[in-house]
A and B are shown apart, each in its own frame.
Chain A
Amino acid sequence: MMADLILETRGLTKHYGGVHALTEADFTLMRGEHVAIMGDNGAGKSTFVRQITGVEMPTRGEILFDGVSHSFTSPIEAREAGIETVFQTLALADDLDVPSNLFLGREKIRFNLGPFSILDKKAMREATMAALVKTGVKIPNLMNTIRNMSGGQRQCVAIARTAAFKSKLVIMDEPTAALGVQETAQVENIIRTLKDAGEPLILVSHNMRQVFDLVDRIVVFRRGRIVANLRKQDTDGQDVVAYITGAKTGAEFEGAA
């Protein structure tokens, strides 16, 4: 059973001065499992994501990823360990083309000359194609800059980046918040593709319909604590809303909040 856990947090806590943004979060994620994190604004969802992706360092608590205890000091370390994140604010360089963005900061190299290493553009282009095929992303022209792409296409590029590398866990922070209907459908299809490929995923979302469509399990945050851990088939939208608003609290979380 333990071997099937990809991510586990024990007593994860984050204080900003006197503000307790995250308190004693115990969270588990199985291999191949898709989990949604829900909660009102300021409930601690984004704080939680920032701790496990190395953007911030937790005040207390332990992060076990792939069976090993980690304390990431930067997003780069988390990424090197295999946690790929699609941030709410897209981390893309507008003036670069798709392969350059996918391989930003970890370019494929033909000759190693330190900072002046020669790029292997062909290999990056081919790997980009492979990543796009894997995720089912469609882009009119790989060699165009990101600047002229639609929000959906940009989001797809950001997601494809997670597939270009051997990531063990993908985290998406509200990936469709700024997208139109068709673009949202496209991103959701990519998430389904990841599910079929057995890639575990943490999805932060406000969209109830989307969550029930895509994930296996829903974890609800309220006022910095985890207040519910619900399997999709055991719950419904009204139930989740009750947990989000504080009308209900999960039995095993009594005393929290």
Chain B
Amino acid sequence: MANTTHGIGGLAYDAKRRTRPPELNVLAALVLIILAFEVLGRVFVGDSFLFNTRDTVDTLFNQQRLQIIILQVAIVGIIALGVTQVIITGGIDLSSGSIVGITAMVTMSFAQVAVVNGSPNPKAIFTAGWMDLPVIIPLIVGLACGLFAGFVNGLLIAYTRIPPFIATLGMMVAARGCAKWWSKGNPISFPTESYAAIGKGMMPVLIFVSLAILFHLIMTQTKYGRHCYAIGSNEAAARMSGINVTGHKVLVYTIAGALAALAAIVLSSKNLTAQAGMGVMYELDAIAMAVIGGISLQGGRGSIIGTCLGALIFGVIISGFTFLKLDAYYQEMVKGVIIVGAVVLDQWRQTKRGRG
């Protein structure tokens, strides 16, 4: 047949010619940052960042530090999982921090105990009949709260076709208002023991890791994940291929809202209290984690693994600065530099690959 003369390469699945996954670069960055802290620590503080230097405990690594690193990013990490799938579809979600606020307030109201140290709960929101409820009630109420907020985001974006930035900005402001209105600005405290168990100890990490595995599978192995990438890389093509783009977007934002609600439940349980200001700036931290993890804000590119690595980089930087005994001010400055640096590096790599 004539067409044999016009081939470009062979027709095969050749593992060696696969493009290098961008996650490897993020992993390399993580290792580099850890090494930098290790060296800086040895030079300036005279201690190891990563390894255990005390003789009292018999472990190679400094377990306590590693635990803190992952614990302090676990809750925002849960939000980042939802934000990742939103950004992959080419959208953005600015409302997650405020959804954390309102969900924490509402959930905690349903998780209060009636009696604290023999006297009635001083922070009570409802009457005694609505206290000491089984833990499933606040969980359902909290999730419903996040699902609803996310659903509204999704409806606005999918049906009115307003930009996701605007829709979720509106939700961000409105949900924060709801959180303040809920208890007229008062904190809500004293949850039941079973509710407090949700965020106890390393539970947030366990929840984060299981959700990360679940969402990694969803994004790589299911139709849902495939359609997220398709919509993000070419929405018109996705629509022409018969993908229900409108319905898919509603689902994506609803799931993001549910994950923000889960983060709120874990956070309020861990802190044993809920305040209207909870979760402020969490949305930006979550977006930053995804961006450091190699996501493209244009949509179509990024992964859960990347976002998890981005979250770890975040955690390492925060505890690294504490370890070097630097002020919190510097932390934020460097965080800003790293977010911008990650995107600049990524774009530079993209154009280089495009030319080569």
A joins B in a complex: yes
Q: A-facing mask of B50-69, CB < 8 A → 1, else 0?
A: 00000000000000000000
Assuming the contacts A94-B233, A96-B229, A190-B3, asked whether A119 and B241 have C-beta atoms less than 8 A apart, the reply is: no
Instruction: Give min CB distance, B79 to chain A, whole Å.
Output: 21
Q: B-facing mask of A132-154, CB < 8 A → 1, else 0?
A: 11001111111111001010110
Which residues of the partner chain A approach B238 to less than 8 Å between Cβ atoms? 93, 104-105
Q: For residue A126, which residue of chain B has the nearest CB?
A: B13
Q: How far is the CA of A28 from the CA of B226 in the complex (A)?
A: 39
* B352 interface residue (CB < 8 Å to A): no
Contact A148 B11, beta carbon cutoff 8 Å: no
Q: How far is the CA of A240 from the CA of B335 in the complex (A)?
A: 67
* A106 interface residue (CB < 8 Å to B): yes
Assuming the contacts A94-B234, A95-B232, asked whether A106 and B18 have C-beta atoms less than 8 A apart, the reply is: no
Contact A118 B222, beta carbon cutoff 8 Å: yes
Q: How far is the CA of A152 from the CA of B9 in the complex (A)?
A: 13
* Number of A positions contacting B (CB below 8 A): 51
Contact B222 A117, beta carbon cutoff 8 Å: yes
Contact B221 A93, beta carbon cutoff 8 Å: no
Contact B241 A91, beta carbon cutoff 8 Å: yes
Instruction: Give min CB distance, B6 to chain A, whole Å.
Output: 4
Contact A79 B242, beta carbon cutoff 8 Å: yes
* A16 interface residue (CB < 8 Å to B): no
Which residues of the partner chain A approach B11 to less than 8 Å between Cβ atoms? 129, 132-133, 137-139
CB contact list, B334-356 vs A, under 8 A = 353-354
Which stretch (A29-37, A38-46, A108-116) binds chain B?
A108-116
CB contact list, B229-250 vs A, under 8 A = 229-230, 232-234, 236-238, 240-243, 248
Q: How far is the CA of A133 from the CA of B14 in the complex (A)?
A: 16
* B211 interface residue (CB < 8 Å to A): no
Q: For residue B235, which residue of chain A has the nearest CB?
A: A93
CB contact list, A178-225 vs B, under 8 A = 182, 185-186, 189-190, 192-193
Instruction: Give min CB distance, B297 to chain A, whole Å.
Output: 13
CB contact list, B1-35 vs A, under 8 A = 1-4, 6-14, 17-19
Contact B19 A92, beta carbon cutoff 8 Å: no
Assuming the contacts A136-B3, A140-B14, asked whether A118 and B221 have C-beta atoms less than 8 A apart, the reply is: yes
Contact A119 B9, beta carbon cutoff 8 Å: no
* Number of B positions contacting A (CB below 8 A): 41
Q: How far is the CA of A117 from the CA of B234 in the complex (A)?
A: 22
Q: For residue A80, which residue of chain B has the nearest CB?
A: B242
Which of A89, A95, A193 makes the CB contact (< 8 A) with B300?
A: A95
Instruction: Give min CB distance, B169 to chain A, whole Å.
Output: 26
Q: How far is the CA of A90 from the CA of B238 in the complex (A)?
A: 11
Q: How far is the CA of A137 from the CA of B13 in the complex (A)?
A: 14
* B270 interface residue (CB < 8 Å to A): no
* A76 interface residue (CB < 8 Å to B): yes
Q: How far is the CA of A106 from the CA of B243 in the complex (A)?
A: 8
Enumerate the 7 nearest inter-chain pairs by beta-carbon distance, A residue then B residue, closest first: A105-B241, A140-B9, A95-B300, A105-B242, A95-B233, A189-B3, A138-B7
Q: List 20 A-B contacts (CB under 8 A).
A: A74-B242, A91-B236, A91-B240, A94-B300, A100-B226, A104-B241, A104-B243, A105-B238, A115-B222, A115-B223, A116-B224, A118-B221, A119-B221, A129-B13, A136-B1, A138-B8, A138-B9, A139-B8, A148-B353, A150-B8
Chain A positions near chain B (C-beta within 8 angstroms): 74-76, 79, 87, 89-96, 100, 104-107, 109, 113, 115-119, 121, 125, 129, 132-133, 136-145, 148, 150, 152-153, 182, 185-186, 189-190, 192-193
